[in-house]
Structure 1
Amino acid sequence: MTPTDIAQVQTYMRKRFANPRIGLIRREKKTDSVEVMLDDEFLGVIYKDVEDGETCFHFQMTMLDIDLEGL
């Protein structure tokens, strides 16, 4: 992902989820994705996909069963 991609997607995520604490961080040795953070907590990964001249970004977030306990 380019620096422009990262800035645009970060702005989108912050606006969509009404949370300025969301940040995107480059991944070591990976150029097609970034980590999604809420302050210092890892939330997931966003992957860039370019196919047939169209670009999309996939947000993948994993929740463990222990994360859901007590809800």
Structure 2
Amino acid sequence: MKPEELIKLNAYFKRIFNDKMVIKARPQKDDSAEVYGNGEFLGIVFRDDEDGDLSYNFSMAILDVDLD
């Protein structure tokens, strides 16, 4: 993703969730970024610009052991 997209996504995640959320570029990937909360990896946010409509999709896996 472009640096300006990462800045916007960082601001959005901090506003929606909390100020400890951080979006980081992924090495060798330009269509997605990594999402961290409190320094812990949470998931991936993907850039989707299909048919000229730009959107971002956040994907987060939750392990059963994390629910205890």
TM-score bracket relative to the smaller structure: over 0.9
The secondary structure found in structure 2 opposite 1:52 is helix
What does residue 57 of structure 1 align with?
56
Deviation sequence 1:7-59 (CA, Å, 0-9, x none):
10110111011x11110111111111110011320011000010111100000
Counterpart residue number, 1:45:
44
Q: Tell me the CA shift for residue 5 of structure 1.
A: 0.7
Q: State TM-score, norm by structure 2.
A: 0.93
Q: Indicate yes or no: 2:44 matched with 1:6.
A: no
Give aligned pairs, total: 68
Taking only the aligned residue pairs, the percentage that are identical comes to 37
Q: Which has the higher helix share?
A: 2
Q: What letter is aligned with 1:9?
A: L
Amino acid in structure 2 at the alignment position of 1:6:
L
Rg larger in structure: 1
- The runs of 5 or more residues in structure 2 that have no matched partner are none
Identify the residue that residue 29 of structure 2 maps to in structure 1.
Answer: 30
Structure 1 segments of 4+ aligned residues over 6 angstroms from their partners: none
Q: Kindly report the root-mean-square deviation, in angstroms, between the aligned alpha carbons of the 2 structures.
A: 0.8
